[in-house]
Amino acid sequence: MGATLIVARRELAGYFATPVAYVFIVIFLVMTGALTFTLGNFFGRGVADLQPFFGFVPWLFLFLVPALTMRLWAEERRLGTIELLLTLPLAQWQAVLGKFLAAWAFCAIALALTFPLVITVNYLGNPDNGVIAAGYAGCLLVAGAFLAVGAAISALTKNQVIAFVLTVAVCFLFTAAGSPVVTEFLSVRLPILVEIARGVSITERLGGFSRGIVSLPDLVFFASFIGFWLFANALVVDHRKAD
């Protein structure tokens, strides 16, 4: 475990050593704030909760998380540092996990910085803070799921633009799978696929969290989703490290 955390620590410091971290956080905060108060009709709804906020976060992550992960392995390849990293005495899974944990911790920091919304809603009314905590947990899991996808795709290519576009596409697939547009279309054409589409849908899973329900199947879904993509990431790194 030691080497994993050392890699994670280096990565996380790397985010803050470049403008990446600040641009990401500022854009994320501005967008979440703006969307929650305008499109989300935060005041007009007259309800003391953060439903609109939790509705927007996955869609923002859909574009911001791939921007974070596109450089994860692609940059190591470009600089040649992957050769350095993987010839240090650490197992490959430790490098994979370390990079993922750093990116996840970074997303957690960005989410934590939306705390003024929590203060605002508590000042204006009496929200159920348990529901809000569950919503945050859900958002963090969505970030983790997208990060795991993005990290694996980043290991596939040296080109960061390709990594970004592919990651957005794959994440969009898992986000949109449970949306009414898709399920209605499928129920007319291919009814067998409706349940599968809803089963792999990230938004479907997030629904429970934003209503305050943390259920074991949802947790297992996210854990296995992240686990699967990290495993794929390790395989890809092992197979293509020297290409």
Report the interface residues with other proteins, using CB under 8 A: 2-3, 6-7, 10, 13-14, 17-18, 79-81, 83-84, 86-91, 241-242
**Can you tell me which residue has the tokens 């990594």?**
163
Distance, C-alpha 116 to centroid of its chain: 21
CB of 65 to other proteins, least distance (A): 21
**CA distances (Å), origin 49, targets 36, 40, 132, 138, 233:** 11, 11, 7, 15, 37
CA–CA distance, 66 with 164 (Å, rounded to integer): 5
- State the CB neighbour count (10 A cutoff) for residue 179: 15
Please say which residue, 86 or 200, places its beta carbon nearer to other proteins.
86
Please say which residue, 72 or 197, places its beta carbon nearer to other proteins.
72
CB of 16 to other proteins, least distance (A): 10
CA–CA distance, 117 with 114 (Å, rounded to integer): 6
CB of 69 to other proteins, least distance (A): 18
CB of 173 to other proteins, least distance (A): 32
Q: What long-range pairs does 79-86 form, CB within 8 A, spacing at least 24?
A: 82/241, 83/241, 83/242, 85/7, 86/237, 86/241
CA–CA distance, 109 with 131 (Å, rounded to integer): 20
How buried is residue 73: exposed, middle or buried, by Cβ count under 10 Å (0-12/13-18/19+)?
buried
Please say which residue, 6 or 165, places its beta carbon nearer to other proteins.
6
CB of 183 to other proteins, least distance (A): 44
Please say which residue, 45 or 78, places its beta carbon nearer to other proteins.
78
CA–CA distance, 26 with 44 (Å, rounded to integer): 26
Please say which residue, 29 or 90, places its beta carbon nearer to other proteins.
90
CB of 13 to other proteins, least distance (A): 8
Please say which residue, 45 or 239, places its beta carbon nearer to other proteins.
239
